[in-house]
Structure 1
Amino acid sequence: MEKIKPPLSDLPIKTADKGFYNGFSLDVTVTSKLAVGGLVLWAVAFPEQAGGVLGGLNTFILANFASWYIYVMAFFVIVCLALAAWPAAGKLRLGHDDERPEFDNFSWFSMMFGAGIGVGMLTWAVAEPIYHFRNNPEVIQGLADGESMNNFMNAYKYSYLHWGFSAWSSYAIAGLALGYFTYRRGLPLTIRSSLTPLFGKALSGPLGHLVDIVAVIATILGVAQTLGFGVEQFVAGMSKIGIGDWLVTEEGNASSAGIVVALVVIMGASTLSALSGVGKGIKWLSNINMALSIFLLAFLMIFGSTWFGMQALFMGMIDYIIALPKMLFTVYRPDGSETGDALSGWQGAWTVFYWAWWVAFAPFVGLFLARISRGRTIREFVLGAMIVPSIMCFVWFSFAGGTAIDMELSGIANGEIFASTDGAKIFTMTGIMLGDVLGWCMAVIIVILLMTYLVTSADSAVLIVNTINAAGDEGPKARPHIIFWGVTLGVVVGALLLVGGLTAIQTAMVIGALPFSVVMLLMCFGLFKAIYRDGLRARHGVPSVTVEMPPAE
């Protein structure tokens, strides 16, 4: 009979012990900087070539890996539900068995929501339901009519699909894997630790370095996508409140000068916040944007299309949950017919794009979730991280998007919301609702809220990248490295926006997410193996928790 051994609790990662990179893994840090820096230089020096190559790679990935993204995200949802339902897993804590959570539930949900998905809410809570109200797979197949009431619930079914359980299950898996192996095993808080049940001490060497490099690149590109949307909307907001017409082009998109100014403001503020750490700057900003979010949401619930929004929320959630199993596994393949090609194009532009975005975002949000979730049980963590933020997203989409759809259906908006750019839709909607003076005041509040979301996402990303580069060390990082990644993130967003707009960022992100999706699949198998083995250890009296209780404050 096989002897049950204690779990691996030591994964040495070589770091520099002096000089500029003191405390950092040279292999991971330098390679990541060269890869990201090379992308920026290439995009700036050879914009046409970069655009062409990225576009070709994007076409190849959508043609050959669309089904991979669909099925792997469906698998993540199943894994989360299985972990929550598995009795042996659900009661285990991310930490010592006697530990309790560091943050109260309000702060936990605030930080989780703000870092994970907050920026997207302000752009897409209005823009996406409006888009799907005009076109979605049911409209393409002739089962519903665009811009009519028989398509209203379809708009929400697909909006909820993209921002609901699938997105948060990918974050929950990354966060759970990191929290489990760091706070129960005492392994470094870095991506490679989550694969130790599969590869053991081999992760101390080149294999582990590769895993962490893939995670850093995915994080930078995933956050760049979020900041790209945010910068476009931030510029639209500053233009609405009268900062200057030079911020936008005649078509309503952000001008080059507007992009540069927005990035300087956002990345300057986020770098200062990152220098202050999670406990101070990020927690403080998260609570501010949660309070402003509640204010804006309350305004939309009370003064927007309340009944319409309630229908969208409750009926939309029922439709979404009933249709979810089918939607999770449906892959539309181009077949040469007009309908088949249109369905495949829609899925590539929406669902596959979102799945790649959430995967690219997962190392960042997952590592952040792990840091703020120590002491919680697996069941509490999985259900809390998967269901509560999803419902918050549904509420946002139902009242923000529902109000916009109702205003267009009733003729109040007269096509103005449809005609606005994605980032400007929320400003157009609130402007029509409130008139010039109050609309201006609301635009200022939305710009401040957007600023706090962008800063929270960017400064969290900088700290997360530095934690991975420093072999999981959560302690204070050398200021030059925080400043470097703050500037680099801004330059990546600026370079890709100026070269090819949001499409260039989207393409780079879809490509960067692909290798990390494989890492996440391995994380799932690693978790199941570790939890199963810990159950065997418990039955044989072999300790599976190798960390001490943290000292009481």
Structure 2
Amino acid sequence: MTDTSSDQGIPEPEGAAAIIETDYNIGQDNIDGQVGPFGFDIHNPVFLISGLAIVAFVFYTLALPDQAGAAFSWLFSAVTKGFDWFFLGAANIFVIFCLLLIVTPVGKVRLGGAEATPDYSYIGWFAMLFAAGMGIGLMFFGVLEPVYHMAISAPLGVPSPFDADGNLIPENVEAAKQMGLAATIFHWGLHPWAIYAVVALALALFSFNKGLPLTIRSAFYPVLGERVWGWWGHVIDVLAVFATLFGLATSLGFGAQQANAGLNHVFGVPIGPTAQVMLITGITAIALISVLRGLDGGVKVLSEINIAIAALLLLFVLLAGPTMLILTDFGQGLAAYVREIVPLSNPVGREDTGFVQGWTSFYWAWWISWSPFVGMFIARVSRGRTVREFITCVLIVPSLVCVLWMAVFGGVAIDQVLSDPATSQVKAQVIDSYNPPLSLFAMLEGLPLANITSVIAIVLVIVFFVTSSDSGSLVIDTITAGGKVDAPVPQRVFWCVFEGAVAIVLLLSAGGLQSLQSMVISTGLPFTVVLLVMCWAIWRGLREEPR
């Protein structure tokens, strides 16, 4: 680290934390933006590079959809097959690192200083965390994934309960059922939340405790020193913008397809690109209203509405389905997850390559792409928590809720498939024809009040859609404005609009949904390296803090 404090007439402070604060005061002159044309806060090259690149990407994909689709398909195949070991190994490191923080003395450090108190209650905190972090994904994959892993993907080589003619093989049923739940929980449990926790902790620590801007580059001060205010920092923030934008676009694409399928199922609305583009456009317009209302008036209110509706739907499915069987599945699924987490996490010598490359690698890249978005969002609402409390809550509690969600929705769907394979709508939509957006509505069709609950599910998908777009634009806006949480409104509007535009052009490209997945994979790969270095920076920063 280069000492320039004497050049500025600032007395040299004592201690590493004080050095960081002094250098931040010097570096702040370099990251302060200025209000430019159209009211944008020009943050050195970050906003211009990010904005121009995204605009160019949208026009390229619209102008050459077939060429773009072929390129995206190649990217998806190359990265998932060539770097599956890297994604699995990195995710394991994030889990181990978080568990280490819980049990070591640095867990006593309080985010915001020793006297800081939490800004939000646990209920409000969890509501915002879930709505931003897992909303659309739980709705899209809650039924699809447990059934698919049970019957088709064969994680760890566990055989399907169906033979080639679609007949049940009784001796395979129990093992396949437990593996279906365990593999699903694996993708929604400790690993994704550890990824989110790493980024959120880094941002909260270096912003609230060190006085640095609330942006990704700040976490690298212990590693890069003053260079974080230069091109090294610009590159980190630009990568964060790209990863966040494409991670969000993928979720918006999933949400649009599921909402379109639900509207077709209930009201007969045609399924296709036109309807999905109209959905993304309309929901982006609603998200703009929430963006203008800010964090407390927009995202927080919508998040709490989301959680209330989701809890009601979860309770209905639990009570309307085979309740005791679902509760048994919850316990058995959790036990199977604990039992299989090590072999499922193993990146070496796997024979179930379809599962590892097509599912796990994509998921880890998706969570890593989402991590700047969810991490910054969690950081902004987590002041006042100790590191131990923060990691425990972010890592353990949401994982248990995800287990419950998958056990309820997936357990009912599996029961419908195994009880009556000949007439099960879930089997028809997931196993026989593979129609993921309809899987949730197929499960609800087998329960009472199907039309009512399907409408509620559509509303829930749309509101999750709005919250993701809204909070995502606030986060990207903060990154491109150098960590400012009160950047000009036109800039927030720009990012909200282009999130929707990216989702639209990728859905319209030749690859469709695979194009969305390809961009997540390609941006998640370099950002994985960023997160690995971030772990070392967090450790150094925490060791400097008084406990």
Task: Give me the TM-score of the superposition, normalised by structure 1.
Answer: 0.89
1:101 alignment partner, SS class: coil
User: 1:103 is paired with a residue of what secondary structure?
Assistant: coil
Post-superposition offset of 1:240? 2.2
Which residue in the other structure is 2:89 paired with?
Answer: 71
What's 2:227 paired with? 202
After TM superposition, the structure 1 = structure 2 runs for residues 296-375 of structure 1, keeping only pairs within 5 Å, are: 296-332=313-349, 340=351, 343-375=352-384
Corresponding position of 1:453 = 464
| C-alpha contact 2:217 2:228 (8 A) present in aligned 1 | yes
Q: Which residue of 2 aligns with 1:101?
A: 118
The DSSP-based 3-state class of the residue aligned with 1:534 is coil
Given that residues 94 and 180 in structure 1 are in contact (C-alpha distance below 8 angstroms), is that contact kept between their aligned partners in structure 2?
Answer: yes
Q: How does 1:411-490 map to 2 (within 5 A)?
A: 411=420, 414-420=423-429, 421-434=435-448, 438-475=449-486, 477-490=487-500
Change (3 A) 1:297 1:7: farther
1:30 to 21, 38, 48: 48
The corresponding residue for 2:20 is: 8
| TM-superposition CA deviations, 1:13-35 (whole Å, max 9, x none) | 43442422553304001101122
Q: Matched residues in 1 for 2:218 and 2:150: separation?
A: 44
CA distance 1:330–1:17, shift in 2 (3 Å): closer
Tell whether 2:503 aligns with 1:493. yes
| 2:520 is the counterpart of 1:509 | yes
Aligned position for 2:277: 260
Shift of 1:262: 0.7
1:167 partner letter: P
CA deviation after TM superposition for structure 1 residue 413, in Å: 7.2
Q: Is the 8 A contact 1:225 1:505 kept in 2?
A: yes
Indicate whether 1:56 and 2:74 are aligned: yes
Structure 1 unpaired stretches of 5+: 249-254, 334-339, 539-553
Where does the alignment leave 5 or more consecutive residues of structure 2 unmatched? 1-13, 430-434
Q: Is the contact between residue 42 and residue 48 of structure 2 (CA under 8 Å) also seen in structure 1?
A: no
User: Would the alpha carbon gap of residues 133 and 364 (structure 1) be closer, same or farther in structure 2, given more than 3 Å must change?
Assistant: same
Q: Between the two proteins, what is the percent identity of the paired residues? A: 34
Structure 2 counterparts to residues 210-221 of structure 1, below 5 A = 210-221=235-246
Count of residues paired in the alignment: 513
> Who is 2:400 aligned against?
391
TM-score for both structures, normalised by structure 2: 0.90
Match of 2:6 in 1: none
Q: In structure 2, what is the Cα distance between the partners aligned to 1:331 and 1:141?
A: 18
Instruction: For residues 147-175 of structure 1, give each alpha carbon's deviation from its aligned partner in whole angstroms, at most 9, with x where no partner exists.
Output: 63331100011001000000000000000
Q: Distance in 1 between matches of 2:99 and 2:63?
A: 47
In the alignment, residue 314 of structure 1 is paired with which amino acid? G
- In the alignment, the residues of structure 2 paired with residue 312 and residue 380 of structure 1 have an alpha-carbon distance, to the nearest angstrom, of 29
Partner Cα distance (2:196, 2:283) in 1? 24
CA distance in 1, matches of 2:75, 2:405: 34
Look up the match of 1:531: 542
Partner of 2:41, secondary structure, is coil
Give the aligned CA root-mean-square deviation in angstroms.
1.8
Deviation at 1:288, TM superposition (A): 0.5
Q: Which residue of 1 aligns with 2:432?
A: none
Distance in 1, Cα, partners of 2:316 & 2:81:
43
Contact 1:94 1:179 in 2 (8 A): yes
Within the alignment, does 1:280 sit opposite 2:297 as a pair? Answer: yes
After TM superposition, give the deviation of residue 493 of structure 1 in Å: 0.6
Q: Distance in 1 between matches of 2:258 and 2:538?
A: 39
In structure 2, the CA distance between the partners of 1:18 and 1:405, relative to structure 1 (3 Å rule), is: closer
Per-residue Cα deviation, 1:243-271 (whole angstroms, up to 9, x for no partner)? x442x1xxxxxx02111111112111111
Matched residue SS, 1:290: helix
Secondary structure of the 2:460 match is helix
Separation in 2 of the partners of 1:283 and 1:413? 44
Contact 2:33 2:42 in 1 (8 A): yes
Query: Mapping of 1:143-222 within 5 angstroms?
Result: 148-222=173-247
Specify which of 45, 64, 70 is matched with residue 46 of structure 1: 64
Q: 2:491 and 2:422 mapped to 1: Cα distance?
A: 48
What are the Cα deviations for residues 169-191 of structure 1, in whole angstroms up to 9, with x where unaligned? 00000000000000001100000
In the alignment, which residue of structure 2 is the partner of 1:271?
Answer: 288
Amino acid at match of 1:165: L
Asked whether the 8 Å contact 2:136–2:461 carries over to 1, the reply is yes
Please state whether the residue corresponding to 2:456 is helix, strand or coil.
helix
SS in 1 for 2:34: coil
Name the SS of the counterpart of 1:8 in structure 2: helix
Distance in 1, matches of 2:468 and 2:160, equals 39
Secondary structure of 2:517's match? helix
Once structures 1 and 2 are overlaid, which stretch shifts more, 503-512 or 306-315?
Answer: 306-315
Q: Structure 1 counterpart of 2:65, which letter?
A: P
Residue 415 of structure 2 is matched in structure 1 by 406
- Secondary structure, aligned partner of 1:325: helix
Rounded Cα–Cα distance in structure 1 between residues aligned with 2:182 and 2:207? 37
- Counterpart residue number, 1:231: 256
Which amino acid in 2 is paired with 1:446?
A
Task: State whether residues 136 and 154 of structure 1, in contact with CA within 8 Å, keep that contact through their aligned partners in structure 2.
Answer: no
Q: Whole-Å Cα distance in 1 between the matches of residues 545 and 455 of structure 2?
A: 53
